[in-house]
């Protein structure tokens, strides 16, 4: 007991975007390099992706490579973190099956993230059963690796709560077996739920409002220049609003004061720049140009490393196989403990 283990992951439904970066990926790299964790598991959740992409398994398959490339490019080090593929671990659906008996249909219906996702996907009453149950399979993922810490974005809070309920229920029914995980949310408000470039919902692969880690520099520029700011800020001299101003939200998430000062020497800090914007006299184009430079500082090196790894997919697949192997060891151990606790380890 007492050892610290991380589980986190992404659905291979598209390339990773800057929302993933500030919401989870950047933190993972820091945690990985902190040396505070005994084991780190980063899951490419292809089975979860299939719950709302059953008609398009090729898309899920193709995006496993893309997500793995994004991980390596962002600084996930396979010597320190295990990158694994969900469908290659048969212990996970078996755990899911046992946990399904510990959750009611009405409890699943109350999950606010799942509710929002059902609406977004226009499922109405045609909700796939697998999709409806994915919070249970996520509980299996987290507990299989005996994870203590789950660094994810805000939308994952209900999943963590569901997992903790399953753990408590399991342990009280069958005896202390599973580890109760803690969520680790991003520190700043902007990173909790980075909005899309349209300024509306959260940035999400399914909504097409993303800046991807793999986007070329020109595309990032184009995206930023067309970003939503303050509709009442018509002339440079008009006072501007920061609330709901996506460009400033992105600066909050990405910019260091030192970068603000370097690229806009009139200001020592981002706060000074914000004050000027609120007073009036600072144009949107200048703020957008700053954001473009800040994003380039982050994305330039990622893009560079990504193109190197993309030349050697067989290396990437070796990384996935090795990470998955280690993940299987741990999840097989958890499954046998679970079955022993339930008394269904028939040693005939």
Interface residues with ligand ATP (CB under 6 A)?
10-11, 13, 19-20, 23-24, 152-153, 155-156, 193-194, 202-206
The alpha helices in 54-184, defined as continuous H runs, are 57-74, 91-100, 105-109, 112-120, 129-132, 134-144, 157-174
Residue 78 vs 153, nearer CB to ligand ATP: 153
From the list 243, 347, 337, 246, the residue with the least C-alpha distance to 287 is 246
From the list 239, 250, 251, the residue with the least C-alpha distance to 276 is 239
* Residue 118 Cβ vs ligand ATP, minimum distance, rounded to whole Å: 12
How far apart, in Å, are the Cα atoms of 171 and each of 166, 178, 239, 279?
Answer: 8, 7, 57, 57
Residue 12 vs 240, nearer CB to ligand ATP: 12
How far apart, in Å, are the Cα atoms of 96 and each of 46, 110, 140, 237, 328?
Answer: 15, 19, 5, 59, 15
Whole-number Å distance between alpha carbons of 335 and 143: 10
Whole-number Å distance between alpha carbons of 61 and 293: 34
From the list 25, 162, 123, 85, the residue with the least C-alpha distance to 316 is 85
* Residue 25 Cβ vs ligand ATP, minimum distance, rounded to whole Å: 8
* Residue 184 Cβ vs ligand ATP, minimum distance, rounded to whole Å: 10
The position carrying tokens 């009280």 is 172
List phi, psi (to 5°) of 212.
-85, 150
Whole-number Å distance between alpha carbons of 53 and 60: 8
* Residue 37 Cβ vs ligand ATP, minimum distance, rounded to whole Å: 17
* Residue 207 Cβ vs ligand ATP, minimum distance, rounded to whole Å: 7
* Residue 132 Cβ vs ligand ATP, minimum distance, rounded to whole Å: 15
Residue 156 vs 324, nearer CB to ligand ATP: 156
- For residue 277, the tally of other CB atoms under 10 A from its CB is 24
Residue 44 vs 335, nearer CB to ligand ATP: 44
How far apart, in Å, are the Cα atoms of 188 and each of 16, 22, 31, 34, 241?
Answer: 20, 9, 17, 20, 20
* Lookup: tokens for 253: 């998430």
Residue 122 vs 314, nearer CB to ligand ATP: 122
Residue 131 vs 174, nearer CB to ligand ATP: 131
* Residue 241 Cβ vs ligand ATP, minimum distance, rounded to whole Å: 22
What single string gives the DSSP state of each residue in 289-304? HHHHHHHHHHHHHHHH
Residue 99 contacts by C-beta under 8 Å, 6 or more apart in sequence?
136, 139, 140, 166, 170
Residue 205 vs 233, nearer CB to ligand ATP: 205
Residue 155 vs 252, nearer CB to ligand ATP: 155
* Residue 122 Cβ vs ligand ATP, minimum distance, rounded to whole Å: 14
Residue 153 vs 240, nearer CB to ligand ATP: 153
* Residue 195 Cβ vs ligand ATP, minimum distance, rounded to whole Å: 7
Which residue's beta carbon is nearest to the bound ligand ATP? 23
Provide the 3-class DSSP secondary structure of residue 140: helix
């Amino acid at each position: 007991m007492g050892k610290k283990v991380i589980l986190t992951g992404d659905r291979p439904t598209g390339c990773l975007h800057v929302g993933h970066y500030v919401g989870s990926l950047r933190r993972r790299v820091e945690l990985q390099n902190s040396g505070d964790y005994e084991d780190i598991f980063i899951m490419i959740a292809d089975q979860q992706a299939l719950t709302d992409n059953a008609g398009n398994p090729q898309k899920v398959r193709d995006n496993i490579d893309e997500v793995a490339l994004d991980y390596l490019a962002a600084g996930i080090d396979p010597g320190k973190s295990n990158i694994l593929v969900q469908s290659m671990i048969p212990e996970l659906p078996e755990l899911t099956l046992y946990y399904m008996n510990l959750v009611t249909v009405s409890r699943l219906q109350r999950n606010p993230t799942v509710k929002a996702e059902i609406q977004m996907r226009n499922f109405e009453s045609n909700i796939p059963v697998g999709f409806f149950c994915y919070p249970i399979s996520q509980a299996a993922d987290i507990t299989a690796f005996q994870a203590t810490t789950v660094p994810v974005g805000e939308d994952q809070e209900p999943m963590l709560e569901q997992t903790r309920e399953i753990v408590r229920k399991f342990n009280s029914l069958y005896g202390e077996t599973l580890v109760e995980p803690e969520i680790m949310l991003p520190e700043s408000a902007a990173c909790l739920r980075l909005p899309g470039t349209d300024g509306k919902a959260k940035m999400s692969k399914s909504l097409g409002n993303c800046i991807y880690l793999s986007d070329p520099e020109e595309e990032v520029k184009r995206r930023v220049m067309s970003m939503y700011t303050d509709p009442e800020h018509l002339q440079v001299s008009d006072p501007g609003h920061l609330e709901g101003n996506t460009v400033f939200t992105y600066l909050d998430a990405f910019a260091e004061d030192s970068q603000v000062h370097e690229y806009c020497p009139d200001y020592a800090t981002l706060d000074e720049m914000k004050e000027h914007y609120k007073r009036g006299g600072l144009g949107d184009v200048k703020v957008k140009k700053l954001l473009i430079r800040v994003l380039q500082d982050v994305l330039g090196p990622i893009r560079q490393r990504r193109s190197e790894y993309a030349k050697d997919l067989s290396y990437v697949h070796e990384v996935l196989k090795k990470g998955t192997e280690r993940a299987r060891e741990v999840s097989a151990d958890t499954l046998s403990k679970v079955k022993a606790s339930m008394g269904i380890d028939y040693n005939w």
